[in-house]
Amino acid sequence: MKITKIISNLILLTIFGLGIISCADKATPLSENNIIPKPLSVIEAGGSFTLTNETKLVGLGNASEINPVIEIFQSLIKPSTGFDLQKAESGESNVIVFEIESASQKSPGEYAISIDENSIKITASNGEGLFNGLQTLRQLMPASLEGKDLATEKIKIGAGQIQDKPEYAYRGFMLDVARHFFSVEDVKHVIDLVSKYKINFLHLHLSDDQGWRIEIKSWPLLTEIGSKTEVGGGEGGFYTQEQYKDIVAYAQSKFITVVPEIDMPGHTNSALAAYGQLNPGITVPEKGAVPFDRTELGVDGMATPLYTGIEVGFSTLDTDKDITYQFVDDVIRELVEMTPGPYIHIGGDESLVTELEDYIPFMEKAQAIVTKYGKKSLGWDEIAHAKLEPGAVAQYWAKAENAVLAINQGNQVLISPATRTYLDMQYDSTTQLGLHWAAYIELDDAYNWDPTELDSAVKRENILGVEAPLWSETITNREEIEFMLFPRLAAIAEVAWTKKDLRNWDSFSERLKKHTARWDAMGLNYYKSPKLVWEEKK
């Protein structure tokens, strides 16, 4: 009996093993891809390319841009295949070619993929385009590639052509690290996740009433005092300048530009708690206040208590004092020194106790400081009440009329409507995390809209791009971030990348349902939306 059972088990294992090999041997036709965001054009051809441990990687063009992308591909393949793919100077058979065309007419981020039986070729005008092509190529390979279990000896990829380019140049995600603080490793994890969907800007909300999260050496109490708590009374935290630079460099390695935000003149209680001389005399609400003795710290007596609630609109910098503008200048100067990207976000939202006649000149002076240091200002849509500097961008989150004010000044807008893109909104009334002051946002709500349809005065040429913010009043850890991001970030990424006339819900939902096998392989904590028809997994 024991011998019979052993033989039976061996037969089952053999059949199972052959099933794995069979799946790896069979290429999915290119026309049946589940790529997210949807490419501009996919044309299927006969045959397939077989990726093995013998496949060589060839770079053509600027090596300084190509080699980092090749290294990302090598690190992607090895955990789930064991393949130790090597670079070669040239080759015509069993090669993957990464080419930067020096005279290319392709726009930044645009790419093309050509697949036949002998080779895969990704072409672009720069490293970002190659990276985007790589993110598409990874989705043409088995979902098991996203895991760490050795699953196959070869991978077949259907032949054909893909042409692709982004609809919007700015495709962003915002992480609020002020309401709850997240470690450097958590931020890097987020960068890894969003980069898979061709997100190319990471907006970090670095300060708010509940916490100051970035070291400013000329104003050390911002972190010595202002970073010491968060919503609900946790210990808070902050990034040293070296840690911030590390995040910026890591984002750059995934072709993501960091946009730091210091909210002002409102949402500033953490700064007022550290430096009372910035406070015009507005007091923090009792609910959520955390008072303590500051006499030994030598801080001005008007310093406010630290705050751990979630109500907004009660704080403001003193817009009449010279010291306030020295503070703004120093903070922006130190941020600029650490930030290679073009934008500094200066907030400007919900400053409800700042009179408009004070708010307008303050925001104009803050913009002028950003311009002085060679950057462009980003601000929430209220900023458009002020005169905008050339190149400044208003981020539409609440009021279309504010976006129109910016457009009428000749400035562009970044589209982040709270009712569509705010990833901290609950999916429905049963969702344990999140809020719903703007809306309940299910998966189809996050997908079925277009930036050009929000207001008749907001035209395509007025729009810089799309950004999905995740505010963190109720979000405390990595798993909760994942749950609120996915699947909605995939939906918004397609809105930002794919042309309007190529998008439709039926196509997206079918692709996404199959695409979630990748999230399963990654161990991602995602929301299984009832808007998708789920099949029972056997």
Q: Which active-site residues does the annotation give?
A: 350
How many other C-beta atoms are found inside a 10 Å radius of the C-beta of residue 123?
A: 21
Buried residues in 172-194 as b, exposed as e (16+ CB within 10 A): bbbbbbbbbbbeeeebbebbebb
Tokens for 329, please give them. 């200048």
Cα–Cα distance measured from residue 264 to residue 397, given in angstroms and rounded to the nearest whole number = 16
Q: What is the DSSP string of 309-350?
A: ----S-----TT-HHHHHHHHHHHHHHHHH--SSEEEEE---
Cis peptide before 265 (omega within 30 of 0): yes
Question: Can you say whether residue 64 is alpha, beta or left, with left for phi > 0 and alpha for psi between -120 and 50 degrees?
Answer: alpha
Per the CB < 8 A criterion, the answer to whether 269 and 209 are in contact is yes
Cα–Cα distance measured from residue 354 to residue 386, given in angstroms and rounded to the nearest whole number = 13
Tokens for 534, please give them. 């789920």
Look at the chain and count its residues. 538
Per the CB < 8 A criterion, the answer to whether 127 and 252 are in contact is no
Cα–Cα distance measured from residue 190 to residue 192, given in angstroms and rounded to the nearest whole number = 5
> In terms of Cα–Cα distance, which of 306, 179, 180, 184 is closest to 240?
184
Amino acid letter at 204?
A: L
Amino acid letter at 253?
A: S
Tokens for 504, please give them. 């439709």
Give, as one character, the DSSP assignment of residue 411. -
Question: Can you say whether residue 160 is alpha, beta or left, with left for phi > 0 and alpha for psi between -120 and 50 degrees?
Answer: left
Distance of CA 228 to the CA centre of its chain: 26
Tokens for 46, please give them. 């006969």
Report the number of secondary-structure helices (H) and strands (E) in the chain.
15, 19
